[in-house]
Chains A and B, each alone.
Chain A
Amino acid sequence: MSAFERLPEIDNGLLRFLTCGSVDDGKSTLIGRLLFDSKAILADTLSAITRTSQRRGMEAVDLSLLTDGLQAEREQGITIDVAYRYFTSGKRKYIVADAPGHEQYTRNMVTAASTASLAIILIDARRGVLTQTRRHSYIAHLLGIPHIVVAVNKMDLVSHSQERFEEIKSDYLGFTGQLGIANPRFIPISALNGDMIVERGADLGWYAGQTLFEMLESTPSEHGESDQKLRFPVQYVCRPQSEEHHDFRGYMGRLESGEIAVGDAVMIVPAGHRTRVKDIQIMGRSQPRAIAEQSVTLLLEDDIDISRGDMIVKPEEAPLISREIEATVCWLGDSPLDPRRKYLLRHTTRETQARVAGISHRLDLNTLERYAAEQLHCNDIARVKFRLAQSVCVDAYAENRATGAFIIIDEANNNTVGAGMIL
């Protein structure tokens, strides 16, 4: 290349977000629009969807085809599973989780929401706040997504009416108050025409706020937990026992939250032993400190028996150590939760047997009413108590996503059948 230029440095990290809505709300068109307007679509992809659009007798290129995935889906005209898309603005990298909107919705949305920092909740301006809007908002809230953006789409079909937008906004705020969703942001858009996505467009002049893209660019990417306590689940213990590294014993893992520096006093839970950090290494190179989400190797002052499943924390910030937990559970398995059976529970890097001690209630996502339940079926959400074979070191999910979450595995087939958020 003759005109060789350096790229601008990406310095705003990475933002994971999720779009909630059904095909009718224009979700696929919105994602297609974001990819298209941010120039993330490459020519061969565009020419493939152009051909498909023409074959299907459409006049304009159907941007929703960009999120079309598998052969089985194209045949049946449905979306099967969460798909991940990638684009960059030059300043920031984005991972979009696209959860499909059919009957398996809860399961897919819970999966997509578990790693997202921001949710875009789509509302069709003609139809307003629907049962599914409440359901999406509840799940986003349940999974602890810190930033909620309510995008009122298809403004072109309601004559770009500001009154209609304000009406929907006040309906939405009416029910989110009950849920405790803090400060949702609202934006009128037309995904089809591209208004207020990347460009402002000409028809929504009364809206003075940020475009959707500006919101994405300026949203902090770290999770909303106010908790910044050190949580370092040990994944793997490195003991090379080679000539050169005879006494080396490194504890490998990722800081799920908080910070750590050489010299810090630490405690190993659940056992409770105390020691200090001797060194922090990556690939044999020492560094003075490590921050949340970094994968490092810790060396400690004293020889203590530590293995995978233990957690390194600061002594004054210990998590709750318990063999009984209560959690909001989303059941994901095809066969129902059977309270008579034993399951395997995986929490951070620790795995233990678990029994159901009781189902307090099941929640109807449409009405948000509580009902008694003996069993849980796929897509059910309920409050469940568990008794565990071993202690786990937990925080409330609302305070710390990583140490408040667990999955349930059915040992009969090794499937992941449930997701839990500790209360």
Chain B
Amino acid sequence: MKAAVSQHTLSHLDWLEAEAIHILREVAGQCANPVLLFSGGKDSICLLRLAEKAFRPGKFPFPLMHIDTGHNYAEVIAARDRIAHAIGERLIVRSVEDSMARGTVVLKSANESRNKHQSVTLLEAIAEFEFDACIGGARRDEEKARAKERIFSFRDEFGQWDPKNQRPELWDLYNARSMKGENIRVFPISNWTELDVWQYIEREQLDLPAIYFAHTRPVVRRKDLHGESIVPVTKLTPARANETVEEISVRYRTVGDITCTAPVESTADSVAMIIAETALCCVTERGATRLDDQASEAAMEQRKKAGYF
């Protein structure tokens, strides 16, 4: 490192880490029964390392929970279980398929993406365990509705986010108070960008699902409103009649539900190469890879109002 402005100043990554640890400890200090949402994706993997830094040598003062759509990549589920096991904390899994069986999730068609229905299962799990706070890995740079959301974001008993009626959030004095049935969503890495996340993964040498790195996969190139998307060919997302299937080198930037997550063309097979690509990247993370957010300009805002993360 070259000389910094002041020797008493933390590097940007150290500052972001210290802020996230402070936020996690505030959750532990203020909430009776929190939970950390862990999907096996890169953002929640960073959250686990931050929780280790916040609470070790003690156990985490919360369990981990994954809302599984049943349409996740096998590599991601394997990483989820491997990482949760390595860290020695309790992992709760609740499944959208159970909500479907109960009749609380009704799909419009068998092929409909289950992504937005995670909200129903999440709210059911919050009620089942009486969680008063859910810690998640959402970031403000991901999407414009998120750019306006508080770090401690209040949700009513329907899980709704009301952007016009948010609690003022000043200094680092967070207000996690809620009544029974309501809850607080907490985003410790709100101020991180995609690049910060990758730099942190490199620095901390974090274990990730293999599909974040370049691999060969059958895909089709599909024209849409925004140009062309690379769509993976899977059982859930078969090629259409007129499409040509190609085997190309791709990696995933986000790893959500298979039906709405697309890879990008890349040969980056190490964290360092992904960082170099991310720094030079010319398409936003969700723009490239989340087919659900492109539906309309306000897609995320509408999902959040309905209880989504």
- Given the interface pairs A44-B226, A81-B148, the reply to whether A419 lies near B168 with Cβ below 8 Å is yes
* Cβ contacts under 8 Å, A81 to chain B: 148, 163-164, 166
A82 within 8 A of B: yes
Identify A254's interface contact among B1, B22, B175, CB under 8 A: B22
B-facing residues in A376-423 (Cβ within 8 Å):
401-402, 405-407, 409, 414-416, 419
- Given the interface pairs A11-B4, A253-B25, A295-B18, the reply to whether A414 lies near B175 with Cβ below 8 Å is yes
Contacting pair B287 A12 (CB below 8 A): no
- Given the interface pairs A9-B2, A111-B168, A294-B10, the reply to whether A45 lies near B147 with Cβ below 8 Å is no
A60 within 8 A of B: no
* Cβ contacts under 8 Å, A349 to chain B: 26, 29
* Cβ contacts under 8 Å, B196 to chain A: 93
B6 within 8 A of A: yes
Contacting pair B168 A107 (CB below 8 A): yes
Cα–Cα distance between A9 and B169 once the two chains are bound (Å): 32
A69 within 8 A of B: yes
Q: Which single residue of chain B is at the shortest CB-CB distance from A413?
A: B179
Contacting pair A294 B144 (CB below 8 A): no
> Which among A84-92, A162-170, A182-190, A264-272 touches the partner chain?
A84-92
Contacting pair A416 B171 (CB below 8 A): no
Q: Shortest distance in angstroms between B238's beta carbon and chain A's nearest beta carbon?
A: 26
Contacting pair A44 B288 (CB below 8 A): yes
Contacting pair B171 A114 (CB below 8 A): yes
- Given the interface pairs A252-B25, A414-B175, the reply to whether A283 lies near B52 with Cβ below 8 Å is yes
Contacting pair B10 A13 (CB below 8 A): yes
A175 within 8 A of B: no
Q: Shortest distance in angstroms between B264's beta carbon and chain A's nearest beta carbon?
A: 12
Identify B18's interface contact among A92, A235, A294, CB under 8 A: A294
B28 within 8 A of A: yes
Contacting pair B276 A7 (CB below 8 A): yes
B273 within 8 A of A: yes
Identify B57's interface contact among A14, A47, A254, A284, CB under 8 A: A284
Q: Shortest distance in angstroms between A323's beta carbon and chain B's nearest beta carbon?
A: 19
Cα–Cα distance between A251 and B84 once the two chains are bound (Å): 26
- Given the interface pairs A88-B195, A235-B25, the reply to whether A221 lies near B5 with Cβ below 8 Å is yes
B240 within 8 A of A: no
B193 within 8 A of A: yes
Contacting pair A236 B29 (CB below 8 A): yes
Q: Which single residue of chain B is at the shortest CB-CB distance from A347?
A: B173
B167 within 8 A of A: yes
* Cβ contacts under 8 Å, A220 to chain B: 5-6, 9
Cα–Cα distance between A1 and B59 once the two chains are bound (Å): 41
B-facing residues in A203-253 (Cβ within 8 Å):
218, 220-222, 235-236, 238-240, 242, 244-245, 248, 250, 252-253
Cα–Cα distance between A107 and B164 once the two chains are bound (Å): 13
Identify A42's interface contact among B55, B273, B282, CB under 8 A: B282
Q: Shortest distance in angstroms between B160's beta carbon and chain A's nearest beta carbon?
A: 14
Bitwise, A31-55 to B at CB < 8 A (1) or not (0) is 0000000000011110110000000
Contacting pair A222 B276 (CB below 8 A): no
Q: Which single residue of chain A is at the shortest CB-CB distance from B294?
A: A44
Contacting pair B144 A414 (CB below 8 A): no
Total cross-chain contacts (CB, 8 A): 215
* Cβ contacts under 8 Å, B173 to chain A: 346-348, 405-407
B186 within 8 A of A: no
Of the four ranges (under 10, 10 to 19, 20 to 34, 35 or more), the interface on chain A belongs to 35 or more
B298 within 8 A of A: yes
B267 within 8 A of A: yes
* Cβ contacts under 8 Å, B128 to chain A: none
* Cβ contacts under 8 Å, A72 to chain B: 163-164
B-facing residues in A317-361 (Cβ within 8 Å):
332, 346-349
* Cβ contacts under 8 Å, A161 to chain B: none
Give the B interface residue count (CB, 8 A): 79
A160 within 8 A of B: no
Contacting pair A111 B5 (CB below 8 A): no
Cα–Cα distance between A47 and B141 once the two chains are bound (Å): 17
Bitwise, B165-203 to A at CB < 8 A (1) or not (0) is 011111111010111000000000011010110000000
Cα–Cα distance between A13 and B8 once the two chains are bound (Å): 10
Contacting pair A13 B287 (CB below 8 A): no
A-facing residues in B1-50 (Cβ within 8 Å):
1-6, 8-19, 21-22, 25-26, 28-29
Identify B178's interface contact among A110, A222, A406, A414, CB under 8 A: A414
Contacting pair A295 B21 (CB below 8 A): yes
* Cβ contacts under 8 Å, B3 to chain A: 11
B91 within 8 A of A: no
* Cβ contacts under 8 Å, B237 to chain A: none
A198 within 8 A of B: no
Contacting pair A419 B170 (CB below 8 A): yes
A-facing residues in B272-309 (Cβ within 8 Å):
272-273, 275-277, 279, 281-284, 287-288, 297-298, 301-302
Cα–Cα distance between A83 and B148 once the two chains are bound (Å): 5
* Cβ contacts under 8 Å, B163 to chain A: 70, 72, 80-81
- Given the interface pairs A11-B11, A294-B14, A349-B29, the reply to whether A414 lies near B57 with Cβ below 8 Å is no
- Given the interface pairs A110-B170, A236-B28, A294-B10, the reply to whether A14 lies near B15 with Cβ below 8 Å is yes
Cα–Cα distance between A187 and B168 once the two chains are bound (Å): 32
Contacting pair A70 B301 (CB below 8 A): yes
A6 within 8 A of B: yes
A282 within 8 A of B: yes
Cα–Cα distance between A254 and B18 once the two chains are bound (Å): 8
Contacting pair A414 B179 (CB below 8 A): yes
A22 within 8 A of B: no
Contacting pair B10 A291 (CB below 8 A): yes
A178 within 8 A of B: no
A-B contact pairs, 27 of them (CB 8 A): A10-B12, A13-B11, A14-B12, A44-B226, A44-B283, A44-B288, A47-B226, A71-B298, A80-B164, A81-B166, A92-B12, A110-B170, A111-B168, A111-B169, A114-B170, A221-B9, A240-B59, A248-B57, A250-B57, A254-B18, A283-B52, A402-B171, A405-B170, A407-B175, A409-B175, A414-B178, A416-B175
